[in-house]
A = this chain, B = another copy of it.
Amino acid sequence: MEELKKYLESQKDRSLEELIRFLKIPSISADSNYKESVREACNWLSGRLEEIGIQTVKIYETDGHPIVYGELIIDKSYPTVLFYGHYDVQPPDPMDLWDSEPFAPVVKKTKLHPEGAVFARGACDDKGQLYMHVKAVEALIENNSLQCNVKFLYEGEEEVGSENLDQFCMEYKDMLSSDVILISDTSILSNDTPTITTGLRGLSYVEVEVTGPNKDLHSGVYGGAVANPINILSSMIASLQDENGKVTIPGFYDDVEIVSDKERELMNEAPFDLEQYKADLGIKEVKGEKGFTTFERTSIRPTLDVNGIWGGYTGEGAKTVLPSKAFAKISMRLVPFQDPDKITALFKNHFEKIAPEYVSVKVKPHHGGRPAVTPIDSEEYAAAEAAMEASFGKKPIPMRSGGSIPIVAMFKEVLETDSILMGFGLDSDSIHSPNEHYGLFNFFTGIETIAGFLNNLSKQ
């Protein structure tokens, strides 16, 4: 391992240069204007896999963006790891809040990243993280010490709901078989406190449209007599949560896992500084479901957030319009054992039911995803834990995360394989936000840890 560490040290500049090249490609899967850029990212990644010595690399077309798959089978008696990641990125909006261009990566030092961090859309989510897999495997190959079979499954639709991945997994189940799936798309608590994610929230995402009059009206001539769809939508949104922060949709909490007091106690022992948290976000108070801590609110409890709202005149100056329509994008984070399809249906029924007779509403489901928990008593978890302990000098804490990686539940169901969620980002890395970045310490330590994980696995 010492030799490998030396090698990794010597490769740092090149690794960063390659990542920067990858980050320059605006592979925004949600925006059809960037379709070709998504493909470019896929091609680039496929090329890299070939270059490091992966035997079989192939791009699979889907109804959406392509999937790149690669495998290197050394010995069938060796353990097999399937790496999963996504090369697509979130849209960069709002553009005016970026300090540098989202697709022109720059390296800058920050308070939490004194060694520097690379700033770009996708730096942490997930290009920087998936690229650690590639560099770790490359290093082991170069040092003739790879003693695992490796498979790579990288998709371009994670940010739009992985719509074609289920089908792909069902179709290529045998090809994708492995002992463990390694996903690096989560965060650690801090660079001093390594963590492994052992639970993820699910997601139900809907878009709603509220229609009042059949055309935009003059608010002077009609105002006061005709229901304004923005006012109505606001009231409807307001009614979706009560004064205790509970979601009011009937049946919403029916299937929520009741976490034991013991587990909640343990969870709340993890280091957490609420004052620092508030200071980092620039807020005076946190807000959430009554009776739960911030940690619990973002991990073991479901939520409802409006992710976008629009209607009427939003340009410069003043326009006195009573608009015909108002829109919102609303998502609900789900916890075990909530089912996203059931929750979406409950939302739709409820939203249609509470719509007053002055308006008509449409609810359009976007993608959803099931919540997941991963085992912490497996050999693979032990291999990951030991690798992190070696590279961070501290044993990692198992933690539930608030985010969603819906494919974890799907992998378990379709491929019948458990995942290890070993990511290296920080919550403050601004993923899905302007100025997304990924620490160089995290990137390089991640590569080392993943190499260590493969080594540990092969020794078991």
Q: Contact residues of A with B, CB < 8 Å? A: 29-32, 90-91, 93-94, 97, 159-161, 187, 201, 203, 205, 207, 212-228, 230-231, 233-235, 237-239, 241, 281-289, 294, 297-298, 301-324, 326-329, 331, 333, 356-359, 366-367, 401-404, 427, 430-435
CA distance A209 to B35 in the complex (A): 34
Known: A30-B317, A221-B298, A284-B357. 17 other contacts (CB 8 A): A31-B316, A93-B313, A159-B319, A212-B283, A213-B283, A218-B403, A223-B298, A225-B294, A227-B285, A231-B238, A234-B238, A234-B306, A234-B309, A306-B311, A306-B312, A310-B314, A319-B329
- Whether A220 touches B201, Cβ cut-off 8 Å, given contacts A281-B226, A331-B320, is yes
Tell me whether A285 and B221 are in contact (CB under 8 A): no
Q: Which of B282, B311, B404 contacts A308 (CB 8 A)?
A: B311
Between-chain CB contacts (< 8 Å), 17 pairs: A201-B220, A213-B283, A214-B282, A216-B432, A219-B333, A222-B298, A226-B288, A228-B306, A234-B234, A238-B239, A309-B311, A309-B326, A310-B314, A318-B331, A319-B432, A320-B432, A321-B432
Chain B residues lying within 8 Å of A94, measured Cβ to Cβ, are 216
Tell me whether B401 and A220 are in contact (CB under 8 A): yes
CA distance A234 to B233 in the complex (A): 8
7 shortest A-B CB distances, which residue pairs? A220-B403, A214-B282, A224-B303, A30-B317, A308-B312, A234-B237, A238-B238
Question: Which B residue's beta carbon lies closest to that of A94?
Answer: B216
CA distance A171 to B338 in the complex (A): 70
Pick from A159, A281, A284, A358 the residue with the most CB of B within 10 Å: A281
Chain B residues lying within 8 Å of A358, measured Cβ to Cβ, are 283-287
Tell me whether B221 and A401 are in contact (CB under 8 A): yes
Q: Which of B282, B305, B435 contacts A219 (CB 8 A)?
A: B305
Question: Which B residue's beta carbon lies closest to that of A322?
Answer: B305
**What is the distance, in angstroms, from A65's C-beta to the closest C-beta of chain B?**
12
**What is the distance, in angstroms, from A70's C-beta to the closest C-beta of chain B?**
28
CA distance A136 to B322 in the complex (A): 34
- Whether A297 touches B31, Cβ cut-off 8 Å, given contacts A214-B282, A282-B214, is no
CA distance A313 to B237 in the complex (A): 16
Tell me whether B160 and A30 are in contact (CB under 8 A): no
CA distance A45 to B333 in the complex (A): 59
Chain B residues lying within 8 Å of A303, measured Cβ to Cβ, are 219, 223-224
**What is the distance, in angstroms, from A32's C-beta to the closest C-beta of chain B?**
7
Chain B residues lying within 8 Å of A234, measured Cβ to Cβ, are 233-235, 237-238, 306, 309
Tell me whether B319 and A313 are in contact (CB under 8 A): no
Chain B residues lying within 8 Å of A427, measured Cβ to Cβ, are 221-222
